[in-house]
Amino acid sequence: MALRMSDAHSLDTLIQALKRLPGVGVKSAQRMAFHLLQRDRAGAQALARALMEAAENVHHCERCHTLTQDRVCATCLDTRRDHTQLCVVETPADQAALERTGAYRGLYFVLMGKLSPLDGIGPHDLGLQKLFTRACDGIVQEVILATNFTAEGEATAHVIAEGLKAKGLQPTRLARGVPVGSELEYVDLGTIAHALVDRR
Amino acid sequence: MALRMSDAHSLDTLIQALKRLPGVGVKSAQRMAFHLLQRDRAGAQALARALMEAAENVHHCERCHTLTQDRVCATCLDTRRDHTQLCVVETPADQAALERTGAYRGLYFVLMGKLSPLDGIGPHDLGLQKLFTRACDGIVQEVILATNFTAEGEATAHVIAEGLKAKGLQPTRLARGVPVGSELEYVDLGTIAHALVDRR
């Protein structure tokens, strides 16, 4: 929706720029622009500075591929962690979820996405070659695939597993099963089927 | 949620800055930051520039209070419009909705908000004094209140109407009634009651 104001050039540019954010449509972009300009100019300037700084300083960790402003991120440099385990996750948010459990003390490889041919995201974008090289470095003894249990996450896990098997490695995958605290009656069939097959 | 990466300073700052946008929580802010840094750095820089420019150039129109980068906005300067009618709306988006109807050719006064004591938004923030002065300038003959039909919009319209009446002016209000294309069975009671009272 144009604002029908030929002079609202800076405003239109801002709304268009906000629309590029994922999950933001025209109405949200307008609301954000009006809010920033009407009530929070300091916030607008802080956001502009943060964007500039991040776009300049943040890049991929040389070892785990996550976003960081150092050459190697703090997690990879942490000597108290178990360097023989390598957990493959899709995003830093997934990594944070695993960290919160406190059940894993190994290292990570962050794909920063998942295989998605329709969006033009292939093995190279996820740094899979770097992952395979890392898995064969003689230090890593176990690769745990912790991509999401969605169609794309499963496909990504499958491709990585095939690549590792070609190098003679056998990765593990997070267990599928019934979520803690749930009642069987309300759990979907696929999950129950997997829980039956993987029973212990 | 912290990312548990002590070195992710620029990234954390960016996530915090994105969280200041209305309707954006931690998860959305993370998704936006990862998207911008992973897939759209050009978008991040374009957004930063647009924010800086807008924060510097955009201010209120001297006459109608809307956001513009000129002293007086294009709508107010348009000599083909009917300068005897002044329509009071909450936001430029509401103004755009009225413009799309093509049924109004007068001028606007944009409050850029609504009275909301809980959020600390009082008559001064909406430029009501400017509106009252404008309504008494001898050119304006009709003030049409087109604030939203929400509790806050109605309260705002009431306060403006009282202020105008104190100056001897009688504003009009957009008609309440049954929306075009709707079936009475599914229209709420308040709307039907208003449609009955205002029948013509």
Reported as a single tens digit per residue, the pLDDT across B14-66 is 999 999 999 999 999 999 999 999 888 999 999 999 999 999 999 899 999 99
**Chain B residue with minimal CA distance to A5?**
B74
Which residues have C-beta within 8 Å of that of residue A150, sequence separation ≥ 6? A114
b (16+ CB within 10 A) / e for A25-40: eeebbbbbbbbbbbbb
pLDDT of B8: 52
> What separation in angstroms does the CA of B172 have from each of A8, A157, B114, B123?
29, 64, 18, 20
Is residue B184 classed exposed, middle or buried when 0-12, 13-18 and 19+ CB atoms within 10 A define those classes? Answer: exposed
How sure is the predictor about B2, in pLDDT bands with cuts at 50, 70 and 90? very low
Assess whether pLDDT exceeds 90 at residue B1. Answer: no
pLDDT of B9: 84
How sure is the predictor about B4, in pLDDT bands with cuts at 50, 70 and 90? very low
Assess whether pLDDT exceeds 90 at residue A38. Answer: no
**Residue B153 sits at the chain A interface (C-beta within 8 Å):** no
Q: What pTM was computed for the model?
A: 0.78
The crossing angle, in degrees rounded to 10, of helices A41-57 and B9-19 is 150
CA nearest neighbour of B44 among B29, B33, B56, B53 = B33
- The rounded percent of chain A whose pLDDT value lies above 70 is 96
Cβ contacts (< 8 Å) between B72 and chain A: which residues? none
The answer to whether A154 and A147 have CB atoms below 8 angstroms apart is yes
**Residue B14 sits at the chain A interface (C-beta within 8 Å):** yes
Which residues have C-beta within 8 Å of that of residue B149, sequence separation ≥ 6? B174, B176
pLDDT of A89: 94
**Residue B124 sits at the chain A interface (C-beta within 8 Å):** no
- How many CA within 13 A on the CB side of residue B175? 11
**Chain B residue with minimal CA distance to A60?**
B38
Residues in chain B: 200
Contact A1 B93 (CB under 8 A): yes
Per-residue model confidence as pLDDT tens digits over B55-109: 999 989 999 999 998 899 999 999 999 999 999 999 888 998 898 888 999 999 9
Mean pLDDT of A63-83: 91
Query: What totals of helices (H) and strands (E) does chain A contain, helices first?
Result: 8, 6
Assess whether pLDDT exceeds 60 at residue B6. Answer: no
Task: Report the DSSP beta bridge partners of residue B107.
Answer: B86
Per-residue model confidence as pLDDT tens digits over A106-159: 999 999 889 988 888 888 888 899 999 999 999 999 999 999 999 999 999 999
CA nearest neighbour of A48 among B58, B19, B46, B48 = B48
| C-alpha A22 chain-centroid distance | 14
pLDDT of A8: 52
What letter represents residue B155's amino acid?
A: A
Per-residue model confidence as pLDDT tens digits over B120-175: 888 888 889 999 999 999 999 999 999 999 999 999 999 999 999 999 999 999 98
What letter represents residue A117's amino acid?
A: P
Assess whether pLDDT exceeds 90 at residue A184. Answer: no
Assess whether pLDDT exceeds 60 at residue A1. Answer: no
pLDDT of A160: 95
The answer to whether A114 and A90 have CB atoms below 8 angstroms apart is yes
> Which ipTM was obtained for this model?
0.80
pLDDT of A52: 94
Cβ contacts (< 8 Å) between B8 and chain A: which residues? 58, 67-69, 73-74, 92
**Residue B22 sits at the chain A interface (C-beta within 8 Å):** yes
Contact A13 B69 (CB under 8 A): no
Contact A28 B27 (CB under 8 A): no
- The rounded percent of chain A whose pLDDT value lies above 90 is 56
Contact A5 B35 (CB under 8 A): no
Tokens of B152: 């806050």
Assess whether pLDDT exceeds 50 at residue A197. Answer: yes
* Dist CA B110 CA A14 (whole Å): 19
The answer to whether A143 and A135 have CB atoms below 8 angstroms apart is yes
The answer to whether A85 and A107 have CB atoms below 8 angstroms apart is yes
Helix, strand, coil percentages for chain A (3-state, nearest 5): 50, 10, 40
* Dist CA A4 CA A153 (whole Å): 44
Assess whether pLDDT exceeds 70 at residue B119. Answer: yes
Contact B17 A73 (CB under 8 A): no
pLDDT of B140: 92
Cβ contacts (< 8 Å) between A116 and chain B: which residues? none
- How many CA within 13 A on the CB side of residue B127? 23
